[in-house]
Structure 1
Amino acid sequence: MSNSTMFDQFPVFETDRLILRQPDQQDIEDIFEVLSHEEVARYVGIARFQSRTDAENELRWYRDLFEQQQGLRWAVTDRSTGKFLGSCGYKHYHAAHNKAEIGYDLNFSWWNKGIMSEALRPIIAYGFTHMHLNRIEADADTRNTASIHLLQKFGFQVEGIHRETEFENGMYIDLVKLALLRKEYELNS
């Protein structure tokens, strides 16, 4: 699939509990709710959102990723209510190298309920089957053991720690670099 074909129409996925769709204007308040929570912001590596403008900028970033063919960011929504619970997707998409970085965030009240595990399954599959990725990378805050464990559950391997690699929220943080290769994914699928 060529880049132009892949980015012609935003893909939508349905799971048992979720619908993964393109984020839109109706999600602004929920985006703000998710990313204004201190724990969520800490592990996403951003300053807590302080205003609706922050959420509007985030939505603009989601749109720009897709329009500029640099990635895709899905709204993770509750299938029964339609409520935006968080987001997940790819950034730093490099067609020439067949790789991208995966990331996600989730409303704090939905942590530890298997939501992100359910959301990532079709996203990872899409990365390997439709985006033709050979490598999916992830960076996780070393303090975020739940996220590291989630990625390892999908077969991501720890490749190392980038010590004090980012300055976020007034402090330097260490990031764990993880990656999943196509051959590893296919072996375990």
Structure 2
Amino acid sequence: MVKQFPVLETERLILREVKVEDASDMHMYLADKEVVKYMGLEPFQTVDDVWDEIKWYNSIYEEDTGIRWGITLKDVGKVIGSCGFLNRIPKHYRAEIGFELSKDYWGKGMASEALEAVVKFGYHHYQLERIEALIEPGNLPSQKLVERQGFIKEGLLRHYEFTCGKFDDLYMYSLLKEDVDFI
């Protein structure tokens, strides 16, 4: 049986499954060093690199360890970013949340709109108790975004990941189901 990929709709956005046909749109922002700076990735050089990312999105969905939606504008349909869960651990009712958005759409409230929809989905569909966000100390815009959504900074995880040839410190943020009132 094939699982039906859920579609989420907000005031301005549709969050949907990413398809191979979206690779060139995704390449536009994943090739931008400012967009990927805090993602633990080098800027994508080719559309083939994006196909690998799409394969990863598909694999976490199929393995039920996460889900990643393409963020699209309602009136256009072009993928301008992504948001979703990874490292979902059902027995502990928790998952990490991640997101990125094309620089063209920064500061317009779209990441916040997408994040809220994904958080609601996590609490309703996955019955999550805890959603975590791991954010590099230098990534102030993402810290402010999750804080506006009610996430609490719990502490610094020193040298938590090794990406792009260096060890990264990450702040651990969490949002418990009881912390939100928009569910």
**What TM-score, normalized by structure 2, do the two folds share?**
0.94
SS in 2 for 1:104: strand
**Aligned-residue offset at 1:173:** 2.4
User: In structure 2, how many angstroms separate the alpha carbons of the residues matched to 1:46 and 1:172?
Assistant: 13
1:23-62 superposed matches below 5 A:
23-62=18-57
**Aligned-residue offset at 1:81:** 0.9
User: In structure 1, how many angstroms separate the alpha carbons of the residues matched to 2:61 and 2:112?
Assistant: 23
**Aligned-residue offset at 1:170:** 3.6
1:163-174 superposed matches below 5 A:
163-174=158-169
User: In angstroms, what is the RMSD of aligned CA positions?
Assistant: 1.5
SS in 1 for 2:37: helix
User: In structure 2, how many angstroms separate the alpha carbons of the residues matched to 1:74 and 1:27?
Assistant: 12
Match of 1:106 among 101, 104, 108: 101
Matched, 1:71 2:66: yes
Matched, 1:179 2:174: yes
**Aligned-residue offset at 1:166:** 2.4
* Counterpart AA for 2:17: Q
Gaps of 5+ in 2: none
* Counterpart AA for 1:42: K
* Counterpart AA for 1:133: L
Matched, 1:85 2:71: no
Partner of 2:134: 139
What does the per-residue CA deviation read over 1:133-152, in whole Å, with 9 as the maximum and x for residues that have no partner? 00001101111111011101
**What TM-score, normalized by structure 1, do the two folds share?**
0.92
Q: Report if the CA contact (8 A) 1:47-1:168 is conserved.
A: no
Structure 1 residue ranges (4+ consecutive) displaced by more than 3 angstroms after TM superposition: none
* Counterpart AA for 2:16: R
